[in-house]
Amino acid sequence: MSGYHITAMLDEAVEMLALRPGRIIVDGTLGGCGHARQICRRIAPGGTLIGIDQDRDAIDRARRVLPIDDLKIHIVHGNFVDLPLFLSQLDIAAVDGILIDIGLSQHQIEASGRGFSFNRDEPLDMRMDIRSSVTAAELVASMGERELATLFSRYGEERWAMRIARHLVARRKTQPVKTSGQLARLVVEAVPAGAARSQKIHPATRVFMALRIAVNRELEVLDRFLETAVDLLNPGGRLCVLAFHSLEDRIVKQRFRLLENPCTCPPSFPRCVCGLTPTVRRVNRKVLRPTDDEVSKNPMARSTRLRAVERL
């Protein structure tokens, strides 16, 4: 279907889940259902898929395209951070695999009409779940210069954060910033021309990413989810995470390392006395990245990072 991107690292992610018929698997980010459809094929007959997404468009698509023969499918409109609640409601104590893909779908960029793209002039919304209360336009209108600069720097790692924030605040005094096109033009005006020419990405890329992360509380949600996700796995069950920028991947990497080596004893101690033992083993010691061939066919996959752990 037009507007739904090619799923990033599809084969690698599905292999990481170690799927087989009869397994209970969670796809916490249905998106275009690329991963979910492959999962369904591999857990049938007798398997169960719990598919979650906070975007109503993704939920509607899942109900149209996912197979229903020889397996159980539960489709949930919500955020994967609430997985413990969803499993409780389904009377499922634990699952055999969890996959989350934390990227934007091409549909959200090109066809959602919510201002995710700096190449379009749409309402500056950026909510993945339209039931959420705060939009990107509201943040841009209400935050002070220093707050905006901190946001652009922390979540977007934007070099020109203060300069962009100052320009934005000055401009909004005479013209509210209500669309993605307006914001993109403001950022281009604020970034020095020489710096903009030397970048491989559009000057507004990092600002748009920062606002999207803030609106959807993406890093907070990811961190909270990772605190409890492994507890929801059966022994031998796997948790796989596809991240798309360094901030997300850093959270995943640090959490996986802590789960694998939770000991807090000083290195000088001859033996562990804290009593904390590993709960997982890392499936891939080194982060997996897409192949050059995949990137050439699907440029949106170029920044993908895949990590997985298995519960002991």
Annotated binding-site residues for S-adenosyl-L-methionine read 33-35, 53, 80, 101, 108
For the chain, the helix, strand and coil percentages under 3-state DSSP, each to the nearest 5: 45, 15, 40
Per-residue buried b or exposed e for 162-198, using 16+ beta carbons within 10 Å of the residue's own CB? bbbbbbbbebeeeeebbbbbbbbbbbeebbeeeebee
CB 25 within 8 A of CB 72: no
Work out the burial of residue 230: count CB atoms within 10 Å of its CB; fewer than 13 is exposed, 13-18 middle, 19 or more buried: buried
Cα distances (angstroms) measured from residue 225 to each of 39, 252, 289, 303: 21, 10, 23, 22
Cα distances (angstroms) measured from residue 287 to each of 28, 127, 193, 282: 20, 29, 35, 10
The dihedrals phi and psi of 300, each to the nearest 5 degrees, come to -65, -15
Report the binding-site residues: 33-35, 53, 80, 101, 108
Rounded Cα gap, residues 287 and 187, in angstroms: 33
HSE-up (13 A, CA, CB side) for residue 254: 9
**Contacts (Cβ under 8 Å, ≥6 apart) of 302:** 290, 295
Token pair 């050439």: residue: 296
Q: Is 126 left (phi over 0), alpha (psi -120 to 50) or beta?
A: left
